[in-house]
Structure 1
């Protein structure tokens, strides 16, 4: 068992003479900056997915698919890896639950493990064999102490549930079929990055149950983990084994665009203030269809019991809550994006990994230098002095050959800023860093006014110096964009799962966030796009009316839409 502690790293860095820039620890930015393990098979790529998060004695433990261990945090921002030989950490889709200060763990190998000290990495076997073979299992404990197992991973068979004996954790009673896919009417269940495939069956998987006010909310993930549209649908029941009915708000979690897309197959947990959070799977799928990352999104119950994960601006910096949040209005971006489509200069470029890719807000594209040698660099021109508060450096690991987790996996770099391209000031010095941070997010203790931001490579773990997103956050010097006008909404007459939106492009906006829902007072769903004037959303419930509004945003902030337009369901 190994624990990689930031405090130990701090001591090592001090003794080695590392220079420090003063950083805050108050905001975070998706994807979560974990030490994502390189997989054991080729091609060389990082991966983590299917998060199951539990709270234990005020701390958080995150269990992930095929990650060589699990993660611990005391603040939801900084995560340390715990390696253990006691758990099947190379299995897919683990589930964990805290019962009376004992954490129970289960994955696909059918055994249940237990630990009363998970930070130690020590686990015992509670149950050597459970049930028949299950896929994507999750264990739920009701308020009366009764326990249930939910599972399913198929394009054809249902999500199933069965009660467990609370002592032996063996199944008792009859297994119940709980839900199946219905892609004809439910657009979020259709395959493809944009839910365009109406022919092939979707994978239905990743069940999870949340209880609130005597109702059971059953999550399920569709349409496939490799798609940008990967999210969770939801059913509701008054009984843990059903019957379940489709929830009013669907999908529960959905993020098909932005720098990184996807919000599926995860778990719900509470923070220290009682806020609900959804930890879900986000997709990269460049080197391999299972190349994935983790995202964290707040979740809310409204006054009518509608449950939703809020993914609006879900890969922008957000402040860690310091108290109870009541709705998505309490969780808005802390800073705006300054680097979108800005001019870029580089030391060199490799093949089709061109320099513009590092500012196009797409994790699937990347800039790469010709080598990984010290001295390769990239510079962004913000076009005028801007108030810079935070940066996120997303490394792309181009041409790596790494398999597994060697001890020397880390990036070393120097970030400087200037207003004239001649005189440079150090902003972030990680030239002696020895901590793996593939999605390094840094909030400055004090903002700086700068126009040019340059990153210089000192070391990469392998391959070339490559970045999929060099993202600069803060505030511009101008005004927010005006209200978007001439929004039109047209439901597809042949397919009620599809709606087409069009609007007049705002010259001051860099992007738009469409908020929508099945009630004009419940616009909980979000679809964020850049630099366009039209959009087709294909994830609707064809049997429901929908309502839409559009917000405009730029470097200075967000202008909320005022008009809400109705799109009526198709009459069959």
Structure 2
């Protein structure tokens, strides 16, 4: 993650026709989720001096410790715990000498969970054997400086050959032989670095000051090559050639005998923020660029952005990859967290599946078979549907809540209980889930407070006059800025109504009220792929297809082979049926196809076309 400030110094220790779901149980025991991940994103106090108030979450590091998973992220006054990867409980630690850690790194070793924050100056390394209860201790109060690093006010002042201070955006990795490695940096000038370190686990009694040391000198491992890799180019849709892209967010995994060094590029404040990977047979390289990059990429849809996260396994051995979603309403670094299925092919190719990545997904309770999808098949029913509200502020009407854009939003004239927001689905549909996405419009909140909780009811109707409860969250005890509610039973309804109870912000503002389920009928036919043409600059290609009547949208899919179309760019039907694709690697042959989707389901794929290098 590219940060906007240096960490603060270490501080002192602290401290009708409606099938209604049971109100309290709705969404409580479901096995599905939808991105962004439904957690209580914290209000960011960092921009208080500028009067900018917003919730945010970024740079997720998820690690399993014991029987639970722990989620750490940027600028949070604690972390989250889950035993099922669906329901997350915030943990307030008893010892937290960070002013909200930035881009933290985690490591499980020797029965301990370690936590390191980004740093440009010495900071503590914490560990816990009881993170469920927030108990932490110092492993060392002061990390050693990076050997050979030069301290300067800004990296632009550094000379060629200088090593920047750090470790900023750190990643920790413990290999099977017990050796520990540190990877780091976030820069559009310098590369990612790596070094072997010693945590002194076998002689911890020597004392805090001797518990961390560098075993090897830092070495440059990888840097960006946007002249070869189209997806590494900066800007919205990779169109800004005036700014050098950023490489950041190192994360290492070992699969078999191969090491996968993951990195983020080109910038967290754009839709194309993505994850790439280099591979090696050694933890410090030499590393080789993967031709199937990027692996985590989601430039279209409601959720955009998939860079800077972590890769981990669930209890069944399924792999998952987290990333950072760009919101950018109140500030360019306003973000959320997303979660996608991931894995490795038999030949070692790593993949992350972002197709329908912001539609409901089912959390598996078994080891997934090759090619088995977690997508529920519940389709978006609310896109461009008519919406009405009890009140509104000028310029922020209810039509904004069905446009699938988190950067437009409805604002009620009052945040008092009883305000309503209603979506007309245009006919009876089978509704299975609803997602309420709030916006911080002049929220005026910073940090934490007891009243920062989200409460509402969801109601359904077939005629717009007789209403039944779909879900009752009027007694919710946590903040849910992106509340996803899976109904216990499907509801056959035409209207969905949000009834307000409480929100911790100054205003009631909702960017999107997203309704999922299925309409009657068959899925749409496959679109006709008209052409797929690669430019003289082979980083770019134009994909053209014919519109499908009644389609809600399309997925342009590409990859190295017809059975490996792992990359997806989602487009809605109000956009041109042509995509200017600027994310290709020079020298790599691609296969491309298009599918259509509507409220009933998803088409089969179009014919495939080849994009020769």
TM range (shorter): over 0.9
Where does residue 125 of structure 2 map in the other structure? Answer: 112
The 5 Å alignment of 1:424-439 reads 424-439=467-482
CA distance in 2, matches of 1:202, 1:423: 54
1:480–1:508 Cα contact (<8 Å) kept = no
Counterpart of 1:516 (choices 558, 563, 585) is 558
Q: TM-score, normalised by structure 1?
A: 0.94
Where does residue 24 of structure 2 map in the other structure? Answer: 20
SS of the residue corresponding to residue 351 of structure 1 reads: coil
CA distance in 1, matches of 2:374, 2:586: 30
SS of the residue corresponding to residue 306 of structure 2 reads: strand
Per-residue deviation at 1:449?
A: 0.5
CA distance in 1, matches of 2:138, 2:591: 51
Counterpart of 1:410 (choices 438, 443, 453) is 453
Where does residue 309 of structure 1 map in the other structure? Answer: 352
CA distance in 1, matches of 2:99, 2:32: 30
2:404–2:512 Cα contact (<8 Å) kept = yes
1:94 equivalent to 2:104? Answer yes
Q: Which moved more, 1:329-338 or 1:199-208?
A: 329-338
SS of the residue corresponding to residue 261 of structure 1 reads: coil
5+ unaligned residues in a row in structure 1: which ranges? 3-17
Where does residue 467 of structure 1 map in the other structure? Answer: 510
5+ unaligned residues in a row in structure 2: which ranges? 1-12, 15-21, 147-165, 201-210
SS of the residue corresponding to residue 61 of structure 1 reads: strand
Counterpart of 2:180 (choices 127, 142, 147) is 147
Q: Deviations over 1:200-234 (max 9, x none)?
A: 20011001111112111111111111111111111
Where does residue 321 of structure 1 map in the other structure? Answer: 364
CA distance in 2, matches of 1:165, 1:400: 45
1:541 equivalent to 2:613? Answer no
Per-residue deviation at 1:374?
A: 2.2
The 5 Å alignment of 1:478-557 reads 478-493=521-536, 495-531=537-573, 532=575, 533-557=577-601
Where does residue 89 of structure 2 map in the other structure? Answer: 80
CA distance in 2, matches of 1:281, 1:20: 31
Per-residue deviation at 1:22?
A: 4.1
CA distance in 1, matches of 2:338, 2:357: 8
CA distance in 2, matches of 1:528, 1:333: 17
Q: Which has the bigger relative contact order, CA under 8 A and spacing at least 6?
A: 2
Q: Deviations over 1:228-269 (max 9, x none)?
A: 111111111111111111113100101011112111111111
Q: Deviations over 1:350-401 (max 9, x none)?
A: 2322222101111111111122122221111111111111111111132210
Counterpart of 1:162 (choices 181, 190, 195) is 195
2:291–2:588 Cα contact (<8 Å) kept = no
Change (3 A) 1:497 1:333: farther
Per-residue deviation at 1:199?
A: 3.2
Change (3 A) 1:387 1:62: same
Change (3 A) 1:78 1:484: same
The 5 Å alignment of 1:299-448 reads 299-448=342-491
CA distance in 2, matches of 1:330, 1:376: 39
1:153–1:204 Cα contact (<8 Å) kept = yes
Per-residue deviation at 1:560?
A: 2.2
CA distance in 2, matches of 1:415, 1:61: 30
CA distance in 1, matches of 2:499, 2:563: 48
Where does residue 52 of structure 1 map in the other structure? Answer: 61
SS of the residue corresponding to residue 43 of structure 2 reads: coil
1:546–1:567 Cα contact (<8 Å) kept = yes
Counterpart of 2:137 (choices 99, 105, 124) is 124
CA distance in 1, matches of 2:23, 2:339: 31
1:148–1:162 Cα contact (<8 Å) kept = yes
SS of the residue corresponding to residue 102 of structure 2 reads: coil
Counterpart of 1:213 (choices 230, 252, 256) is 256
1:223 equivalent to 2:266? Answer yes
Per-residue deviation at 1:334?
A: 3.9
SS of the residue corresponding to residue 305 of structure 2 reads: strand
Per-residue deviation at 1:474?
A: 0.7
Q: TM-score, normalised by structure 2?
A: 0.88
Q: Which moved more, 1:265-274 or 1:395-404?
A: 395-404
CA distance in 2, matches of 1:297, 1:379: 30
2:58–2:335 Cα contact (<8 Å) kept = yes
CA distance in 1, matches of 2:434, 2:145: 48
CA distance in 2, matches of 1:166, 1:405: 34
CA distance in 1, matches of 2:288, 2:56: 34
Per-residue deviation at 1:328?
A: 4.6
CA distance in 2, matches of 1:21, 1:34: 18
Per-residue deviation at 1:566?
A: 0.5
1:319–1:334 Cα contact (<8 Å) kept = no
Q: Which moved more, 1:373-382 or 1:156-165?
A: 373-382
Where does residue 149 of structure 2 map in the other structure? Answer: none
CA distance in 2, matches of 1:22, 1:545: 47
Counterpart of 2:285 (choices 224, 236, 242) is 242
RMSD: 1.8
The 5 Å alignment of 1:559-570 reads 559-569=603-613
CA distance in 2, matches of 1:326, 1:540: 29
Per-residue deviation at 1:166?
A: 4.5
SS of the residue corresponding to residue 372 of structure 1 reads: coil
SS of the residue corresponding to residue 371 of structure 1 reads: coil
